Structure 1
Amino acid sequence: METKVNVLQIERIRRIYGYVNGFDVQADGSRGGLSLAWKHDIQFEKRGGVPREERRMEDFRNALDECHLIDVGFLGSWFTWERGNLVATNIRERLDRGVVTEAWFSAFLHAQIQHLSYSHSDHCPILLSTEMANKNIRKALFHFEVWWLLESSFKKMVKDAWDSTQRPLLAKLKELKQEISQWAQHVKQGRQRVKQQLHRQLDRLLDKDRTDDNLAEIINRKIHLNQEIDKDEIYWEQRARANWLKVRDKNAAFFHSWATQRHKGNVINSL
């Protein structure tokens, strides 16, 4: 609407009528002026808790303009931080965003930011993707993996494979290696599907309005996802050949980076 008043008066009027969020344009004397106002239930920067102060948000937007920075936008849930397992205390907020210069954006036209589902922290992981060439994938050498022992089917698979043939020892070992490799690939694919399914379920739950049932389901999915992540940590701990943390420590990112640094030809696919 045309306001015909300055922005300080507009903001005061908005707040009197309960519109704590809005975008205002200064009037030119007694002409013009614009105000776009909305209440809590349709804002997408914060839900729950104390409302953001619009004046500070305006200062932030002005700082971006002065520095000629562009908001990249995002894919996924609109918020990047959440706290509170009860509806009455739940707060969701977009605390993080990616901003770049025009030159950077021109160099990476296909860049995008994705808000990933989260289970360990109240902050969601943020993935910045750019278009890059695929790495050459080498065939992995066969070696024992500690995570095999966590799978209930491992012992029976080895016994069945060993008892299924009466060939000489070296031939039996070769066949056992093939059986284990096929079994491990099948298990990893199954675990990956389970994690993808849990992530999809968690993403759908995070996008819904918060209710007691919704929050209970979110907690349940996070517990199951964390159990799968624990198995990954053992894998990366062995690959890293570093015994600095125990198996139960939640630091898969450290082990992943440590292990991959052993290869000189690494390519950074994401930040």
Structure 2
Amino acid sequence: MLSHMTHSFSDHCPLLLITGGLSNLHRRWHFRFESAWLMEDSCEKEVQSLREQSSGSVPVRLRGVSNGLVHWISQFRHDKHVSIKALQQKLEALCGVDPADDILGEIVEAKLALNMEYDKSELYWEQRARKN
């Protein structure tokens, strides 16, 4: 592909010649590690497992780990969404029951687990918003 680039100071027009085709120009997505993943117990185990499975040069191994993490996080997000819904339903059910010591303990545990999930979500969105 040949294109004429803009010029401002010269009377010459620079040319841009791309010999690799257009598929290399547009990368729609690239891997980014999310800091919220570090709050997950299974993340470290998954990275270790993916690292042990990969072979070759460092860039090839990193690509293998990142591809594996993409698959892991998609499954993990689905499971987390189901888990949050289950915690919310459990909390609603427990709040409708007469308060006894064991019920209050379960309510506290459900609230703590739900708050931890909300904290992870908040950390994710803080990183996305690039807040300082």
- Give the TM-score taking structure 2 as reference length: 0.65
1:166 maps to 2:55: yes
Q: Distance in 1 between matches of 2:128 and 2:79?
A: 21
Q: Distance in 1 between matches of 2:91 and 2:73?
A: 26
Equivalence map 1:100-249=2 (5 Å): 141-206=30-95, 208-213=96-101, 214-243=103-132
Partner of 2:14: none
Q: Distance in 2 between matches of 1:192 and 1:238?
A: 20
Q: Distance in 2 between matches of 1:197 and 1:221?
A: 10
Alpha-carbon shift at residue 225 of structure 1 (Å)? 1.0
Q: Aligned with 1:153: secondary structure?
A: helix
Q: Distance in 1 between matches of 2:68 and 2:97?
A: 47
**CA-based RMSD:** 2.2
Q: Which ranges of 4 or more aligned residues in structure 1 deviate by more than 6 Å?
A: none
Letter in 2 for 1:157: E
Contact 2:50–2:68 (Cα < 8 Å) also in 1: yes
Letter in 2 for 1:170: P
Partner of 1:251: none
Q: Distance in 1 between matches of 2:118 and 2:62?
A: 31
Unaligned 5+ residue runs, structure 1?
1-138, 244-271
Equivalence map 1:22-41=2 (5 Å): none
Provide closer, same or farther for how the CA distance between residues 155 and 211 of structure 1 changes in structure 2, counting only shifts above 3 A.
closer
Provide closer, same or farther for how the CA distance between residues 165 and 225 of structure 1 changes in structure 2, counting only shifts above 3 A.
closer
What is the percentage of aligned positions where both structures have the same residue? 32
Q: Aligned with 1:242: secondary structure?
A: coil
Unaligned 5+ residue runs, structure 2?
1-27
Alpha-carbon shift at residue 163 of structure 1 (Å)? 2.4
Q: Which has the higher contact order (CA 8 A, sep 6+)?
A: 2
Letter in 2 for 1:202: L
Higher strand share: 1
Q: Aligned with 2:98: secondary structure?
A: coil
Alpha-carbon shift at residue 140 of structure 1 (Å)? 6.0
Higher CA-based Rg: 1
Letter in 2 for 1:210: D
Alpha-carbon shift at residue 198 of structure 1 (Å)? 0.5
Q: Distance in 2 between matches of 1:161 and 1:145?
A: 17
- Which piece of structure 1 moves more, 189-198 or 139-148? 139-148
Alpha-carbon shift at residue 141 of structure 1 (Å)? 4.3
Alpha-carbon shift at residue 185 of structure 1 (Å)? 1.7
- Give the TM-score taking structure 1 as reference length: 0.34
